[in-house]
Structure 1
Amino acid sequence: MQLPAGHDLPHTRSRTVHWLVTTMSLAAVTGAAALVQPSGATAEPGTAAPADSRTASRAAPEPPPAPDPDAVDYPLECGPLGVVVTDRVTVDLGADGRPETIAAVRCDAGSGTPPHGLYLLTGGGAARLAETLVDPAEGMTVDDLTATDEGTVSARLAGYSSLDVPRCCPDLRRDVSWVWQDGRLELRPAPAPNSI
């Protein structure tokens, strides 16, 4: 059957009112679906529920923080100058889940190369000085401080062959390492330069 010209069926004409009603209906259905949750659903967005309570109770505890080298009182005589930590490494020497910190520390002088102290710090957040690896009285500076997971700490020490050498320019260098053994770090110097 054909309708006279200009007489279309009502559902074939799109009007603004029809689009508004359709949009509002879809928004209402979507909003209701977002609010409705299955019974027992308690998860917050962005979190995942554990598979079961036994798995959650076996989660590994957080390891304690490494000792903070900026919170230690070092045995340095700096007069009116402050103390500065120039390098640090963190390593779990005893493989016991409690990390230690090795800190290279010197007086905060404006020029020259003041000698370093190299210290082993233990105790987690409440850091304490456990061992002196390089005494500032030796007049050495410490560079290239590293540590391995196996408990070896390495550094390059620079020093002076005599008092006549300007304090800005060390003329002696030696690579050294310390190995964790029997509950302490033992010094293992590399061969001296030009040695056989």
Structure 2
Amino acid sequence: MQQSAVPELAHTQTRPIHWVATATAVAGVVALSALVQPGSATAAQTTTDIRTRSAPAALAPPSTTGVDFPLQCGPVKAVVTKKATADLDGDGQPETVAVVHCDAPMGTPPDGIYVLTRSTHSNKPRVIATLVQPKERLTVTDFAIHERAVSATLLGYSSDTVPSCCPDTKTPATWQWNGNAFLRSTPAGAHSV
């Protein structure tokens, strides 16, 4: 084995003096950074009197409690099974979309989908649009609001002879406000179950 011509390097063996030198260097950097401060800001600040207007408080979305839905339920009550809220028309105030059916003791009653807003005079929720009427005999699934559009999957019947227990059509539908009314679109691929 050949001996190295270079003596052992001094920094490969740690001695207390090395730790003292490192601590001194770190302390110097910290002290220097405390002394060197950025210059004062030179951006001019305006002195004009800017009065901020408080933004109108956002109203809570309309509640479904106590709403008279256009639904004929006879002796039973209307039941809200699903609901979602969003600003559907872009006016800055939220609307509530509710899926409602009669609380029938048996079977699967058809659903209705209703859009609620607050009345301008009494602040009481009211129905402003019906997206699905119960007389269409549809059951609503996959109900959601996304990007100001209401979407749902509608289970229905291809004819009056299909038993109420067993819907045989499945149709995805989307409703979007066009400035005057909610327009329904049905994506391609609507099919039977």
Question: Per the shorter chain, which TM-score range?
Answer: 0.5 to 0.7
Structure 1: which 5+ runs fail to align?
1-53
How far did residue 184 of structure 1 move?
2.4
Partner of 2:84: 89
| 2:178 paired with 1:181 | yes
Structure 2: which 5+ runs fail to align?
1-48
How far did residue 191 of structure 1 move?
2.0
* Alignment RMSD: 2.3
| 2:152 paired with 1:155 | yes
Following the alignment from structure 1 to structure 2, what is the Cα–Cα distance between the partners of residues 168 and 99? 36
Question: Residue type matched to 1:97 in 2?
Answer: G
| 2:141 paired with 1:146 | no
TM-score, length-normalised on structure 2? 0.66
Q: Deviations over 1:26-68 (max 9, x none)?
A: xxxxxxxxxxxxxxxxxxxxxxxxxxxx999655443111111
Relative to 1, partners in 2 of residues 1:96 and 1:55: Cα closer, same or farther, differing over 3 Å?
Answer: farther
Question: Residue type matched to 1:140 in 2?
Answer: L
| 2:57 paired with 1:74 | no
Match of 2:134 among 133, 136, 149: 136
| 3-state SS of paired residue (2:65) | helix
Equivalent positions of 1:1-196 (< 5 A) are: 58=53, 60-123=55-118, 125-148=123-146, 150-193=147-190
| 3-state SS of paired residue (1:66) | coil
CA contact (8 A) 2:158 2:169 kept: yes
Relative to 1, partners in 2 of residues 1:55 and 1:92: Cα closer, same or farther, differing over 3 Å?
Answer: farther
Relative to 1, partners in 2 of residues 1:94 and 1:55: Cα closer, same or farther, differing over 3 Å?
Answer: farther
Following the alignment from structure 1 to structure 2, what is the Cα–Cα distance between the partners of residues 112 and 166? 11
| 3-state SS of paired residue (2:160) | coil
CA contact (8 A) 1:176 1:190 kept: yes
Question: Residue type matched to 2:93 in 1?
Answer: R
| 3-state SS of paired residue (1:186) | strand
CA contact (8 A) 1:121 1:127 kept: yes
| 3-state SS of paired residue (1:191) | coil
Aligned length: 141
Percent identity of equivalent pairs: 44
Following the alignment from structure 1 to structure 2, what is the Cα–Cα distance between the partners of residues 172 and 194? 6
Following the alignment from structure 1 to structure 2, what is the Cα–Cα distance between the partners of residues 194 and 75? 29
CA contact (8 A) 2:170 2:191 kept: no
Following the alignment from structure 2 to structure 1, what is the Cα–Cα distance between the partners of residues 61 and 83? 11
